[in-house]
Amino acid sequence: MAPDNKETLSNLLQESRRFPPPPELAADANVKADAYDEAAADRLGFWERAADRLSWAQRWETTLDWSNPPFAKWFVGGKLNVAYNCVDRHVEAGRGDKVAYHWEGEPGDTREITYADLQREVSKAANALIELGVEKGDRVAIYMPMIPELPIAMLACARIGAVHSVVFGGFSADALRSRIHDGQAKLVITADGGYRRGNPNALKPTVDEAVADSPTVEKVLVVRRTGQDVALTDKDVWWHDLVDRQSDTHEARPHDAEDPLYILYTSGTTAKPKGILHTTGGYLTQVAYTHHAVFDLKPETDVYWCSADIGWVTGHSYIVYGPLANGATSVMYEGTPDTPHRGRWWEIIQKYKVSIFYTAPTAIRTFMKWGDDIPAKYDLSSLRILGSVGEPINPEAYVWYREHIGGDRCPVVDTWWQTETGGIMISPLPGVSEGKPGAAMRPLPGITADVVDDQGHSVPNGGGGFLVVRDPWPAMLRTIWGDDQRFIDTYWSRFEGMYFPGDGAKRDEDGDLWLLGRVDDVMLVSGHNISTTEVESALVSHPKVAEAAVVGATDPVTGQGIVAFTILRGGAEESEDIAKELRDHVARTLGPIAKPRQILVVPELPKTRSGKIMRRLLRDVAENRQLGDVTTLTDSSVMNLIAEKLPSAK
């Protein structure tokens, strides 16, 4: 259903709080306002200069080949090695002693990995892959916890031109098997297990199950992390037996700018996951540039931490490739935010003096729920920039993040992008933009995003519609692995000549963009289009609400009725009147049309492992249907707790 121009409610646009950049940050920012003009005047020239921040073995001949849309080729004829750019060149420039990762294990063990260490470890791992018979172009599935061997394995693949396919360590054997099969992986790299919620969490049995009927897999390389018992099969090789005895030098050969770098699966709405394919030159150019621009990274002084898992694209682009290409010092943390206590993340920020922190709205709302007193116990004064990614950030969550984590001095950058876009596309620039809570603001320099109506025409300021990208960008997906037609159908068929990411958006009177979530999540109530994000934001703006998920349930009278699932903040009591209080609050904030038909107070919300609310399941509950597939849920028992709350649900 389309967010409609006139009918869409304007709640978010009434958000009037504004946060200008701190003057010192603005004066010294890596990227200033002129970058927009520079890129508008010569878009390809702008990306050439961004590519020049990397080290190329051979310069490209053509910046962009768009002769066969939608199949883009960037920096055609150019050659580079991604691992050399992320590791060796920093060592060669005399920065070998600089820390690349302050790694923190969940039980409290730590490792400091300098760029020189990384060069030796990646070289050894690359030599080991070669000994196992892995060749350029072969696919390597990686199923690992958040330990240093994970980025090392990815960089070793990149170094020799093998294509990695990282599968998030929380996925099931079925999910792993289908990804191994789709990519026809020759090797799997894994670990005995990792630490989660205070306990060793085994990974190897899942790999055994998936590999048992995966004939393409020749070997399984196993890191010992937890020391738990492992049943070895004849395909298994211990990392410490094979990698440790390799030479710690390896000459990185250049690869073509359009050689594949990795496949990463995104589930989408249909059953079969899509293998998103990224290549080397354009991808590295955009992730390095955006990391430099959006986080204003000063590699000599900043300590950067992105709390995502490397199993998601956020971790690929902003824990591994972007930060390393820029020579950053990063924190990498293995475990969960509440182990052994709910202040763990703030303790880490205090300990390593983190200055740039990047996380997701779902995490921020969880911390709001846990209470303001927890972060207040820690010294967070090292922070200077905060980032958000993954879903629209509600204005209340933005303001809480800014105040309680950022000490009311750090700009919040709300970064919109996707697995498919490879890098950040729409975001404030911390030294330029006047922050608006809930707005992702403008396309970055060099990106031409727009909001269009049903017919593909640009909407005026004040209008709403579909987000599109008009021109190819360097880090864009090149195709869906093995399925060019699906690539065309999924992204390039809704609007002629434009990329359609599937998100709704509004453009405010200043021309700034507000993302409204997936267009499938727009409700039609009595002829009005209402986005779930807007009603959720209205609910979260009530002092007693920590989190809310809203769905449209079929309603004989109104078409769809709004059903809201809410989690109350720590301290707030569930009472009979709360539902009425919240319904009235939404009516006051958004208008009576958006008043939820039903409000349910629940203990948890169903989320995917990447933290996205599974509204599909809530719709099943609200419409009193049998639940659909729950296999990608973090915790499927949540659905029983929710169903108990709904009087009519079975």
Binding annotation for Mg(2+)? 540, 542, 545
The answer to whether 420 and 426 are in contact (CB under 8 A) is: no
517 binds ligand WT7 (CB under 6 A): yes
Structure tokens that stand for 580 in this block: 């009425």
Q: Is residue 518 within the footprint of ligand WT7 (CB under 6 A)?
A: yes
Among 254, 411, 443, 501, binds ligand WT7 (CB under 6 A): 501
Stretch that binds ligand WT7, among 203-211, 349-357, 515-523, 623-631 (CB under 6 A): 515-523
Residues 438-477 that bind ligand WT7 (CB under 6 A): 440
* Nearest distance, CB of residue 608 and ligand WT7, angstroms: 9
259 contact partners, CB below 8 Å, separation of at least 6? 136, 137, 161, 279, 280
Rounded distance, CA 401 to CA 297, Å? 20
Q: Kindly state whether residue 290 participates in binding ligand WT7, applying the rule CB under 6 A.
A: no
What is the distance between the alpha carbons of residues 185 and 170, in angstroms, rounded to a whole number? 19
**Sole binder of ligand WT7 in the list 100, 449, 515, 522 (CB under 6 A):** 515
> x/- site string to ligand WT7, residues 549 to 588, per CB under 6 A?
----------------------------------------
Query: Any contact of residue 332 with ligand WT7 (CB under 6 A)?
Result: no
**Min dist. Cβ of residue 307 to ligand WT7 (A):** 12
The answer for 591, left when phi > 0, alpha when psi is -120 to 50, beta otherwise, is: left
Feature table: binding site for CoA: 196-199, 314, 526
306 makes contact with ligand WT7 (CB under 6 A): no
Q: CA dihedral defined by 394, 395, 399, 401, rounded to 10 degrees?
A: 20
Query: Which amino acids are annotated as binding site, given as ranges?
Result: 196-199, 314, 390-392, 414-419, 503, 518, 526, 540, 542, 545
Specify the DSSP class assigned to residue 317. Answer: I
Site string for ligand WT7, 406-425 (x = CB under 6 A): --------xxxxxx------
* Shortest Å, Cβ 2 to ligand WT7: 15
Taking the chain, what is the end-to-end CA distance rounded to the nearest angstrom? 28
* Residue 334 near residue 145, CB atoms below 8 Å: yes
CB 363 to ligand WT7: min, Å = 12
Q: Which of 444, 457, 412, 417 has its CA nearest to residue 430? A: 412
Among 314, 479, 560, 566, binds ligand WT7 (CB under 6 A): 314
Minimum separation from the CB atom of position 564 to ligand WT7 (A): 20
Distance (Å) of CA 151 to CA 49, 113, 189, 542, 600: 27, 11, 12, 41, 42
Strands (E), 229-323: 236-238, 255-256, 260-266, 274-279, 303-306
Q: How many CB atoms lie within 10 A of CB 245?
A: 11
Give the shortest CB-617-to-ligand WT7 separation in angstroms. Answer: 17
Q: Using the rule CB under 6 A, which residue among 236, 256, 391, 512 binds ligand WT7? A: 391
| Segment contacting ligand WT7 by CB under 6 A, of 162-170, 388-396, 402-410, 539-547 | 388-396
Structure tokens, 99: 């820390």
CA distances from 76 to 62, 86, 287, 473 (A): 5, 21, 18, 14
C-beta of 417: minimal distance to ligand WT7 in Å? Answer: 4
Nearest to ligand WT7 of 114, 479 (CB atom): 479
Q: Is 315 in the site for ligand WT7 (CB under 6 A)?
A: no
Nearer to ligand WT7, 430 or 517 (CB): 517
Residue 99 contacts ligand WT7 per CB under 6 A: no
| Residue 322 within binding range of ligand WT7, rule CB under 6 A | no
Closest to ligand WT7 by CB, 381 vs 631, is 631
**Min. distance of Cβ 290 from ligand WT7 in angstroms?**
11
Q: Where are the alpha helices (DSSP H) in 492-614?
A: 532-540, 578-590
Structure tokens at 82: 């991604």
Q: With contacts defined by CB under 6 A, name the span among 7-15, 184-192, 286-294, 512-520 that binds ligand WT7.
A: 512-520
Our finding on whether 302 is near ligand WT7 (CB under 6 A) is no
Q: Is 134:163 a contact under the CB 8 Å cutoff?
A: no
**Selection from 361, 369, 366, 362 nearest residue 386 by Cα:** 361
User: Please, are residues 477 and 278 in contact by the beta-carbon 8 Å criterion?
Assistant: yes
- What span, in angstroms and rounded, lies between the C-alpha atoms of 49 and 45? 6
Residue 266 binds to ligand WT7 (criterion: CB under 6 A): yes
Q: How far is the CB of 61 from ligand WT7 (least distance, A)?
A: 31
Identify the three-state secondary structure at position 160. Answer: helix
The answer to whether the beta carbons of residues 435 and 409 sit under 8 Å apart is no
Amino acid 334 reads E
Min CB(516)–ligand WT7 separation in Å: 8
Chain positions contacting ligand WT7, by CB under 6 A: 266, 313-314, 389-392, 414-419, 440, 501-503, 515, 517-518, 610
